[in-house]
A = this chain, B = another copy of it.
Amino acid sequence: MKKARAVALNIPDIGIHHPASQQVFAWERWLAHQILALLGRPPVSLVLWNGEEIAATQGTPVARIVLRNRAALYQLIAHPDLHFGDLYSTGGIEVEGELGELLDSLYHSSRSAEGSAAIKHWQSRIFTRPRSNGLDDASGNIHHHYDLSNDFYALWLDREMQYTCAYFPAPAMTLEAAQIAKMDLVCRKLQLRPGERVVEAGCGWGGLARHMARRYGVHVSSYNISHEQILYARAHSEGVDNVEYIQDDYRNITGQYDAFVSIGMLEHVGVEHYRELGEVMHRALTPEGRGLIHTLGRNRSAPLNAWIERRIFPGAHPPTLREMMDIFEPREFSVLDVENLRLHYAKTMEHWLARFEQHASTVEAMFDRNFVRAWRLYLAGSLAAFNSGSLQLFQVVFTRGTNNKLPWSRAHIYQSAEGGEHSDQPL
């Protein structure tokens, strides 16, 4: 248990020294005011360790952030993005009020304050470069997150263990249905035909590969560097023909394929490797091959939240469309279709968070209380990020620039499958 926790949340003692008394000094009060100002003056108050409240200067307060000790104040001012998460996880900060509302209001206030030079200065200070994702590092970074425990993810993911944005053409769909709808959306965009060969870069627990092989009659080679996920995928695909799970890096993909698909891997590739990914696609695709990349994204370039990048997804980066062009331009791939599914990820996060909360006591027994608090913050924070427009979800369909075998419209994506199982209800 302790070992699992150490893998998941490797929070160091940052060793800031501070006066031992409970007294609040004048400069500490000033620092507390600065924190609120730097956050864009959200409708949130800060409660200090002696019970003193630094009130919000505008709006009806949605929550109170309680700093349990003065170390929390110093850590927060030193690196707010990183330490808010660590302090919340370890109990150095408590939130009185609804965590989701607090996070929503923090996203909105920091957006409205983004014109201020102070915030820009502060943001530049908290910028942290994502870790390297060279071949050696990539395995460690992915191990950190995805090998946590299949049992843990099974508690709150859908039956197919899809740990990526679902697709809710009708927003009242269940998570299970929406994850199947996502897989069908991907397969339709790729126009898979029976007998075709598909290569998947980053296959998670193997659900999409199974789905493509079973429902679309294609041959799938799926790559993943996570040992735990590959074992799970193989165990759950017994009896499914034409699926091969390969524990290897996407850069080692061999063979020629009619379609290339990558769902939720690009976040872990690193911008400096995008051109390399384009080379892999160039090698792997037939002249009329199609591809789809599904990824977290940004409207404007910014690193992932520092705490999430350090504690949850080491090395992760959500690219802008501009950054993604490093994949496509050098080998003159042609972007055919981009769809932004931002609100679908917000809804996915709502489902995950609700399921996670249902199993919080089980998670606490598997790990510990800090782990539960960290994951709660991560899921609620991601929900707020998608709802506020801070994060995007892009699906990009592409082909070679010389391929003229293209559909004349995207209507085929929105035709109901026979039996209506995957009907896309417009709103």
Give A contacts to B, CB under 8 Å.
111, 168-171, 299-301, 320-322, 325, 328-330, 332-340, 342-344, 387-389, 392, 400-404, 406-415, 424-427
A348 CB to closest chain B CB, in angstroms? 13
A39 CB to closest chain B CB, in angstroms? 17
Question: When the two chains form the complex, which single residue of B171, B329, B340 contacts A336, counting CB atoms closer than 8 Å?
Answer: B340
A107 CB to closest chain B CB, in angstroms? 10
| Cβ-defined contact, A389 with B334, below 8 A | yes
Residues from chain B with Cβ under 8 Å of A169 in the complex: 408-409, 411
Residues from chain B with Cβ under 8 Å of A403 in the complex: 389
Count this chain's copies in the assembly.
2
A119 CB to closest chain B CB, in angstroms? 14
A96 CB to closest chain B CB, in angstroms? 27
A406-B343, A409-B414, A411-B425 given as contacts; is B328 within 8 A of A325 (CB)?
A: no
Q: How long is the Cα–Cα vector from A388 to B403 in the complex, in angstroms?
A: 9
Residues from chain B with Cβ under 8 Å of A338 in the complex: 335, 337-338
- Of all chain B residues, the one with the shortest Cβ separation from A403 is B389
| Cβ-defined contact, B336 with A325, below 8 A | no
| Cβ-defined contact, A392 with B340, below 8 A | no
A81 CB to closest chain B CB, in angstroms? 19
Residues from chain B with Cβ under 8 Å of A408 in the complex: 168-171, 343-344, 426-427
Question: When the two chains form the complex, which single residue of B329, B387, B400, B427 contacts A320, counting CB atoms closer than 8 Å?
Answer: B329
Most buried by B among A340, A411, A415, A427: A411
Residues from chain B with Cβ under 8 Å of A332 in the complex: 299-300, 389
Residues from chain B with Cβ under 8 Å of A337 in the complex: 338-340
| Cβ-defined contact, B401 with A389, below 8 A | yes
Q: How long is the Cα–Cα vector from A197 to B333 in the complex, in angstroms?
A: 37
| Cβ-defined contact, B388 with A409, below 8 A | no
Q: How long is the Cα–Cα vector from A408 to B415 in the complex, in angstroms?
A: 16
- Of all chain B residues, the one with the shortest Cβ separation from A181 is B409
Residues from chain B with Cβ under 8 Å of A325 in the complex: 320-322
Residues from chain B with Cβ under 8 Å of A404 in the complex: 343, 387, 389
| Cβ-defined contact, B392 with A334, below 8 A | yes
Known: A169-B408, A342-B406, A414-B414. 18 other contacts (CB 8 A): A168-B408, A169-B409, A170-B408, A300-B330, A301-B329, A320-B329, A322-B322, A334-B392, A336-B339, A339-B410, A343-B406, A344-B408, A388-B402, A389-B403, A410-B410, A410-B413, A411-B425, A413-B414
